[in-house]
Amino acid sequence: MSTVLKAKDLCKTYIVNKRQNNVLKNVSFSIEEGEMTAIMGPSGSGKSTLLYAVSGMDGITAGEVSFCGRNIARLGEKELADLRLDEMGFIFQQMYMLKNLTVLDNIVLPACQSKKNKETRRETLKRGEELMRRLGIIDIADNDITEVSGGQLQRACICRSMINNPKIIFADEPTGALNRTSSDEVMNELARLNADGTTVMLVTHDSKVAAKCTRVLYIVDGNIEGEYNLGRCEAPSQMRERERSLNNWLLELGW
């Protein structure tokens, strides 16, 4: 199993009102191919900052971030943009999509922008439809984004994140704006993609969401304070015990 992502002594500092705010402090961890890793911690602990830093969406102050063997801290803006487009997928709590495009057109847009994609538009649309069918939303392909539910739209965002066959998906509170039913549906889809081999790193405050992951990293005040290995969930009947054991561990850490 190869290492997809590795952070070493990662630091992120902001200057606010001439005062130094150390959000990430010498953070080190790695994510192996096929893992589904959750980042948890109190509000303001640095969870989202960590995700943005290791995905190249935000710069780092010190340390190294290696993505498939490449130190992304040394890449220029154009190289980083191409890397994010071609080899990473992104899902956010706010489901950013273009209002003047249909759901399907939003999904295939990253593929149309990628220089690596040598397909015809028809072939790309067919792949987009296959992803939508896989996630059970093919019936909304031609809808405007204002005509679908939040759960459907987030599943469409998952399709969009997969359109360029990324090596990893980064998800920042992907269920945060959804009700429990839609949240479960979205997490089931992410877990299914992970079971098929897609590497996932997600930020969440929800232990029910984290319990579907293979591993949980707990961050407090910019430091990773603990790691909990859940392993892969083999059956729905295991979820109650996974949630119980994870919650007990979180309580020990002061959750």
Does the structure show a pLDDT above 80 at 1? no
pTM of the complete model: 0.94
Q: Residue 131: which domain range?
A: 3-252
Would you put residue 190 in left (φ > 0), alpha (ψ -120 to 50) or beta? alpha
Tokens of 150: 């939040």
∠ CA 185-187-193 to the nearest 5 degrees? Answer: 105
Mean pLDDT, the chain, integer? 93
Task: Kindly report, residue by residue over 148-178, the tens digit of the pLDDT.
Answer: 999 999 999 999 999 999 999 999 999 888 8
**Number of C-beta neighbours around residue 249 at 10 A:** 17
Task: Kindly report, residue by residue over 203-216, the tens digit of the pLDDT.
Answer: 999 999 999 999 99
pLDDT of res. 182: 87
C-beta separation of 198 from 1 below 8 A: no
CATH number at residue 153: 3.40.50.300
pLDDT of res. 93: 84
Instruction: Count CA atoms within 13 Å of residue 112 on its CB side.
Output: 12
Taking residues 222-251, what's their average pLDDT? 94
The tally of domains found in the chain comes to 1
